A and B are shown apart, each in its own frame.
Chain A
Amino acid sequence: MKKKKRVVAALSGGVDSSVAAALLKEAGYDVIGISMQLYDHAQNETTRFDSCCSLKEVDVARRVAQILEIPYYVLNFEKAFQEKVVDYFVKEYLNARTPNPCVKCNSDVKFKALIQKAKELGADYLATGHYVKNVLNAKTGFYELHKAKDVSKDQSYFLFDIDRNELPYLLFPLGDLLKTHVRDLAKRFGLPTAHKPESMEICFIPNNDYAAFIEKKLSSPLSKVAGNVVSSDGKILKQHRGYYQYTVGQRKGIGLSQTHPLYVVEIDPNLKQVCVGKKADLWMRGLIAKDINWLRLPETQEVSLKIRHSKQEWQARFSETVSWSSHAQPIFFQDRVAAVTPGQAAVFYQDDVLLGGGWIERGLH
């Protein structure tokens, strides 16, 4: 008898990961369910809230594993998560940048620490409920990530930073499915997650209030982060309580009434100064991406570029031919683009193929 291939299925307690695990079980894999304990909400917060990875979610994931009749473990990754995700998140805001913790969680925790655990358990694969395709390119002999069939659910943007050497170990059973179909499958499998609403919040931020979270983490008094909101010509317009409450490109919540709409155009963490201006001040001709991770090299210098998680893509061009060792690159838009946010990810595609991405250092005027 041929030995079944063993898969560790990451279970978050949501509909997607539970259907992914169910599909693998049905396909005849030896499936092990694992939930990652990432953040001890009880220790940090007293308010009750539900999001990914809270104890209640673990209970749901455990119930799913019971229904699928697979072994199930909760493993603690709090230390890695604190260092790689939470500390990074706070530090980036204090550097006046807008972090993307989900990307970091994928590259530094899920597809690093968890994959290591999966290998220690003798697993052939790690599977998650991400909407993305892992495709073997017959020409190159390498695996590459492609956008999901369900374009509105595609999560490739969050996966640009994973190590391409790990791709052969990854399974994404939902890459070829529509979300509506996934919900139907959850019902067919009798999973308690079938009607669960989407969670869109950052899992470790209570009540979606990231500013309050950062304030709790601040070692220095709040006066150290308070400063002025100024206009482009340096005029002080008002005081603010903390520059980390602002994001470049933000329009709502600035609290100033002017004849024309005002946008945050720049934040200076040293001066603790938030500079506001007109939309035109936000238009950028390009950006500098740093710490670039490549999953596949582009065939030409022309790529599609995402600068946040949305369907919106911009035609752009590298100023030179890139290679595996290109880790910091300027890249120029075909047309000017507004609101290039430092700290967010710039992710490169050609058609449906995820090439890689980097972290936005700054926009180029």
Chain B
Amino acid sequence: MKRIYFDYNATSPLRPEVYEAMSVYLKSQFGNASSIHEEGRKAKEGVMVARESLAQVSGCDPEEIIFTSGGTEANNLALKGAFEYFYPQKKKIIVSEIEHPSILETCDYLASRGATLVKLPVTKEGIVDATLLEASLSDDTLLVSVQYVNHETGVIQPIQDMGRLVQSKGILFHVDAVQALGKLPMSFSALPVDLMSVSSHKISGPKGIGALILKQGLKLQALVHGGNQERKRRGGTENVAAIVGFGKACDLISEMGGQDQERIEKLRNYFEAKLKSQFPTISIQGESVPRVGNTSNITFEDITSETLLLNLDLQGVSASSGAACSSGSLDPSPVLLAMGLSENLALSSVRFSFGAATCQNEIDVALKILSNIVERFRASV
């Protein structure tokens, strides 16, 4: 059965060009980037070129990049690194209720180490309430962390406004841009942002690599000690092949210059229009506010997302819903709950996220499968 993959916000398939670029460093260029010899120099070159590629696509200086094992480590490094550096002079951390678990659970951990925590609510469209932000800022505020794009709804957060406000008080502003890279044009140097997390496997690069981008001159406490890599800010031998793959995925984004995003957005809009005409009772989360073009979060009301997702999977369509818990079962999405949905509605919402390989035919086939499932289910109850 040919699979239809609509879960790009979870992870995306590796591009062939990325695989080719990586395979050189897995097969022949095996060197340690810190070594002084030829093999080491070649590896170092791979890392440096990739650093430039990421700098290019995210609009930062190559020196501002710290490669990490992924978005989760980048978020951990931003929060824990800043906390350990500035605590106890400053101890308040402000985040939103709809952040990724790598932010929220890290905050809970830091709260147990003495941080005071503020979680900003969101509107029913899923936008962080910036009016409450100003009231929460205080002299002891260490850092504000807000995501660029929400992972479940695709809603774009007003980070320009928030960033200006936060920075005007001399407070650090961190942005989790894992779901934004590749979907929105971005320029770290032009944004009022001090730290920004990105991840490779959301942009058709390999898993296990990401980065924290850190404003020139800003100091953090390192999390991983033991080596001079990443200018002593992240020890451990560089994952050269993964870094090279990440760089190649960035190059592909730069080359396409947003064309593919426009194509994907048209397909997403077609998908939603068709669904609405077939099933008038559905609602689309974040529909009335700015969203990235690849994400569609649909609430079906009368069918649980579990039933939908399993039936879709059995018929070859991959989609997802709220975070899967340790036992694999589906919990209601904390993002949708924060947007004011009831537990039942949150448990009947499905996220479709499209990407590079998505085409018109896939959308049409998936729509047919989806309507068969919904109609069969409605007929059976």
Contacts and interface: CB of A to CB of B under 8 A. Distances in A.
Interface of A: 32, 37, 40, 42, 55, 58, 71, 73-76, 78, 117, 119-122
Interface string B302-338: 0000110011011000000000011111100000000
Interface in B328-381: 328-330, 376-377, 380
Given A55-B326, A58-B327, 7 more contacts: A37-B328, A40-B327, A42-B326, A73-B328, A74-B327, A120-B310, A122-B314
A75 B377 contact: no
Contacts of A40: 327
A117 B304 CA distance: 11
Contacts of A71: 313-314
B326 to A, nearest CB: 7
Given A32-B314, A120-B307, A122-B311, A74 B328 contact: yes
A74 B313 contact: no
A121 B310 contact: yes
A75 B310 CA distance: 10
A73 B307 CA distance: 11
Contacts of A32: 314
Given A32-B314, A71-B313, A71-B314, A122 B376 contact: yes
A79 to B, nearest CB: 11
Contacts of B314: 32, 71, 121-122
A122 B328 CA distance: 21
A75 B314 CA distance: 15
A78 B329 CA distance: 10
A220 to B, nearest CB: 30
Interface in B83-114: none
Contacts of A117: 307
B311 A76 contact: no
Nearest to B373: A122
B329 to A, nearest CB: 3
A41 B313 CA distance: 29
Contacts of A58: 327-328
A55 B325 CA distance: 12
Contact of B311 (A42, A74, A121): A121
A121 B306 CA distance: 10
Contacts of A37: 327-329
A120 B329 contact: no
B327 A55 contact: yes
A120 B377 contact: yes
A45 B330 CA distance: 22
A75 B377 CA distance: 18
Contacts of A73: 310, 328
Contacts of B326: 42, 55
Contacts of A121: 307, 310-311, 314
Nearest to A35: B328
Given A32-B314, A121-B314, A76 B376 contact: no
Nearest to A123: B314
A122 B310 CA distance: 10
Contacts of B313: 71
Interface in B272-317: 306-307, 310-311, 313-314
Interface centre among B311, B313, B329, B376 (most CB of A within 10 A): B329
B330 to A, nearest CB: 7
B53 to A, nearest CB: 37
A120 B327 CA distance: 21
A107 to B, nearest CB: 22
A169 to B, nearest CB: 13
Contacts of B307: 117, 120-121
A307 B310 CA distance: 41
A32 B326 CA distance: 21
Contacts of B306: 75
A40 B325 CA distance: 11
Nearest to B376: A122
A121 B376 CA distance: 10
Contacts of A119: 380
Interface centre among B327, B329, B376 (most CB of A within 10 A): B327
Contacts of A76: 325, 327, 329-330
Contacts of A42: 326
A260 B114 CA distance: 65
Contacts of B310: 73, 120-121
Nearest to A6: B314
Nearest to A75: B329
A173 B330 CA distance: 30
Nearest to B308: A120
A22 B71 CA distance: 40
B306 to A, nearest CB: 7
9 contacts: A32-B314, A55-B326, A55-B327, A71-B314, A75-B329, A120-B311, A120-B377, A120-B380, A121-B311
Contacts of A78: 329
A203 to B, nearest CB: 14
Contacts of A75: 306, 329
B263 to A, nearest CB: 32
Nearest to B307: A120
A50 to B, nearest CB: 15
A74 B328 CA distance: 6
A55 B330 CA distance: 15
Contacts of B376: 122
B315 to A, nearest CB: 9
Nearest 8 CB-CB pairings of A with B? A76-B329, A74-B328, A37-B327, A120-B307, A37-B329, A74-B327, A121-B310, A73-B310
A334 B236 CA distance: 79
Interface string B251-284: 0000000000000000000000000000000000
A119 B380 CA distance: 9
Contacts of B325: 76
Nearest to A34: B310
A119 B310 CA distance: 12
B163 to A, nearest CB: 39
A120 B308 CA distance: 9
A107 B377 CA distance: 24
A358 to B, nearest CB: 31
A126 to B, nearest CB: 15
B211 to A, nearest CB: 33
Nearest to B328: A74
A32 B313 CA distance: 11
A74 B329 contact: yes
Nearest to A32: B314
A84 to B, nearest CB: 17
